[in-house]
Amino acid sequence: MFGFNETVAQARQRNIHDALMEDVGMHDWTAQLVPSKTVQAQLMVRQAAVLCGVDWFEETLKTLDPLAAITWHYQEGDMMKTDSVVCDISANSRALLSAERPCINFLQTLSWTASITRQHVDAIAGVSPNPQGCAVLDTRKTIPGLRQAQKYAVRIGGGQNQRLALWHGILIKENHIAAAGSITAALQNAVALNAGVDIQIEVENLTELEEALAADAKSILIDNFTTEQMKQAVALTNGRALLEASGGINLDQMREIATTGVDRISLGKLTKDVCAVDFSMRIK
């Protein structure tokens, strides 16, 4: 429909263009109040968090000042300490002041997503009886325009991605099943497309799970199951399909769910319940 599927790098360039367009536009009048010269600055973080978004930060600043230099004291994916220096910056004063908010906006948002993902990954470390372990996944409940960026942040936090977008995989949900007439019909239609992408189907009870397995489903989303039902689903499936738990799951439930033996847990909150990691930039 749109000619191509966007890569992370292409999405990053679009993100940066949009961020500078909406904030700077044709002119930053306030930046004109200072002399145009090279200045030194530091970026601080006020809370412990996973660093994510270095490329978004750097490329935003260098769009306005190609000669800007940034020395990072943490690498992407590192856990930053409270009240520590994240990076030292040398840049044109006007460019730095214009880029400051867009740069930090990217960093505070992506670092939050990486941090909350890391928290959920750590919560289930080593508790799954599944030989393959249990993975933490995101969903498509993302900030408009930042899909690739947030999905990237989930990976930096140690999670995995559910399908990136509609073009990336087939996920048959309750409305698709209703429109197709049955779970079996929906799966047959999906296979017939020969799209070369993964096919997953959502079920809401054990009866629907049995139908999906009988129709040779290889990836099944078990939605809003109790932990006891999850255990039954794992036993019933017996390795014939990948099982993914979803549906309003919170951090307190993660460990118990992982012990049922499901393969994956997906959470919309990793990307939709967005807070900001507290960063502060100061010119020396």
The residues carrying an active-site annotation are 101, 141, 173, 202, 223
- Phi and psi of 230, rounded to 5°? -65, -45
Q: Which residues contact 209 (CB under 8 A, 6 or more apart)?
A: 203, 220, 222, 233, 236, 237
Please tell me the distance from the alpha carbon of residue 186 to that of residue 194, in angstroms, as a whole number: 14
Q: Find out whether 205 and 235 touch, Cβ atoms under 8 Å.
A: no
Please tell me the distance from the alpha carbon of residue 15 to that of residue 141, in angstroms, as a whole number: 18
Inter-CA distances, 213 with 166, 239, 249, Å: 24, 11, 24
Please tell me the distance from the alpha carbon of residue 24 to that of residue 15, in angstroms, as a whole number: 14
Q: Find out whether 21 and 145 touch, Cβ atoms under 8 Å.
A: no
Q: Which residues contact 276 (CB under 8 A, 6 or more apart)?
A: 108, 109, 112
